[in-house]
């Protein structure tokens, strides 16, 4: 009887040991499977990221790209600042002037204290024409003849809508008979060739003359004949 009890006890011990071993093996298998799955998932994620980076044409280092972009922006800003400085300090000359419109034909010459010119609108000869009327079609673009800053925009009783540009070096230019709506504002910096407005019909003292832009050049506070420099 006692021997049978011992045999049963031994059998239970063996069964328990086998069960423990099986559980251990099962846990090892599960853990191993989990590790393999995690590795596969990691590999797939890495492949996906590499694929996305290749599609975007980048190396995946967003921080470096942002730094490079910022560096480029800073470089462009520095260049812009340098360009602004160069524009501000650039010395202009009357010899650099070109026509403010596409053509160069002068329909009414400069006549301030010189040979009088005939005005179709007024029906008389004038010796007070401080600029030159340059032929152009109504609506044609009028451009700045030199780099500078818009000093004043106003409506003149005789010359209509006018824009005055200060070019520095004691040189200013005036553009009259412009369309009522201009493309610039007072204080705005412009470069040579910037469109400041369009040819209009706002000059009351020249309304019956052929379409044109009234153009004046001032140097050291005195008017200069534009015909000497328009080219």
pLDDT in tens, 84-130: 334 444 788 999 999 999 999 999 999 998 889 988 888 889 888 99
Residue 221 sits in the same domain as residue 112: yes
Residue 138 sits in the same domain as residue 213: yes
For 4, the 3-state DSSP assignment is helix
Residue 65 sits in the same domain as residue 10: yes
Query: What residues make up the domain containing 218?
Result: 94-228
For 15, the 3-state DSSP assignment is helix
For 96, the 3-state DSSP assignment is helix
Mean pLDDT of 203-210: 88
Structure token digits, residue 69: 């972009």
Residue 29 sits in the same domain as residue 122: no
Residue 141 sits in the same domain as residue 215: yes
pLDDT at 13: 67
- Residue 79 has phi, psi (to 5 degrees) of -65, -40
Mean pLDDT of the chain: 77
Residue 100 sits in the same domain as residue 202: yes
Residue 155 sits in the same domain as residue 192: yes
pLDDT at 85: 37
Distance CA 230, CA 96 (A): 9
Question: 161, 176 in Cβ contact below 8 A?
Answer: yes
Residue 77 sits in the same domain as residue 129: no
pLDDT at 208: 87
Question: 104, 228 in Cβ contact below 8 A?
Answer: no
Distance CA 219, CA 214 (A): 17
Specify the number of domains making up the chain: 2
CB atoms within 10 A of CB 7: 10
CB neighbours of 10 closer than 8 A, spacing ≥ 6? Answer: none
pLDDT score of 170 more than 50: yes
**70: pLDDT confidence band, cut at 50, 70 and 90?**
very low
Tell me which residue has tokens 């298998």. Answer: 29
**154: pLDDT confidence band, cut at 50, 70 and 90?**
very high
Domain boundary among 55, 88, 121: 88
Residue 43 sits in the same domain as residue 133: no
Domain boundary among 88, 103, 123: 88
What CATH number corresponds to the domain at position 176? Answer: 2.70.70.10
Q: Are strands 148-156 and 222-224 parallel, antiparallel or unpaired?
A: unpaired
CB atoms within 10 A of CB 19: 10
Structure token digits, residue 10: 């031994």
Helices (H), ranges, the chain: 2-55, 62-89
Mean pLDDT of 196-200: 98
Domain boundary among 73, 88, 103: 88
Residue 59 sits in the same domain as residue 160: no
pLDDT at 61: 34
Ordered DSSP codes for 28-92 = HHHHHHHHHHHHHHHHHHHHHHHHHHHHTTS-S-HHHHHHHHHHHHHHHHHHHHHHHHHHHHPPP
Helices (H), ranges, 61-213: 62-89
Instruction: Evaluate if pTM is beyond 0.85.
Output: no
**8: pLDDT confidence band, cut at 50, 70 and 90?**
low
Residue 38 sits in the same domain as residue 103: no
What's CA 52's distance to the chain center, in Å?
32
């Amino acid at each position: 009887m006692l021997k049978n009890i011992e045999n049963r006890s031994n059998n239970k011990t063996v069964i328990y040991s086998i069960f423990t071993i099986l559980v251990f093996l099962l846990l090892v298998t599960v853990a191993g499977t989990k590790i393999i799955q995690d590795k596969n998932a990691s590999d797939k994620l890495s492949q996906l990221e590499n694929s996305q980076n290749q599609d975007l044409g980048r190396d995946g280092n967003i921080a470096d790209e942002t730094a490079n972009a910022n560096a480029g922006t800073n470089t462009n800003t520095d260049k812009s600042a340098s360009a602004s400085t160069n524009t501000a300090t650039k010395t202009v000359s009357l010899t650099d002037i070109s026509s403010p419109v596409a053509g160069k034909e002068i329909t009414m010459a400069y006549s301030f204290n010189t040979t009088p010119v005939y005005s179709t609108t007024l029906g008389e000869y004038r010796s007070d024409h401080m600029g030159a009327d340059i032929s152009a079609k109504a609506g044609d673009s009028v451009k700045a003849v030199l780099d500078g800053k818009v000093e004043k925009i106003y409506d003149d009783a005789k010359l209509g809508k006018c824009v005055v540009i200060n070019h520095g070096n004691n040189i200013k230019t005036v553009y009259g008979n412009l369309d009522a709506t201009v493309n610039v504002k007072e204080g705005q910096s412009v470069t040579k060739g910037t469109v400041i407005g369009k040819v209009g019909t706002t000059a009351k003292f020249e309304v019956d003359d052929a379409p044109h832009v009234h153009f004046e050049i001032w140097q050291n506070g005195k008017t200069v004949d534009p015909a000497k420099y328009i080219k």
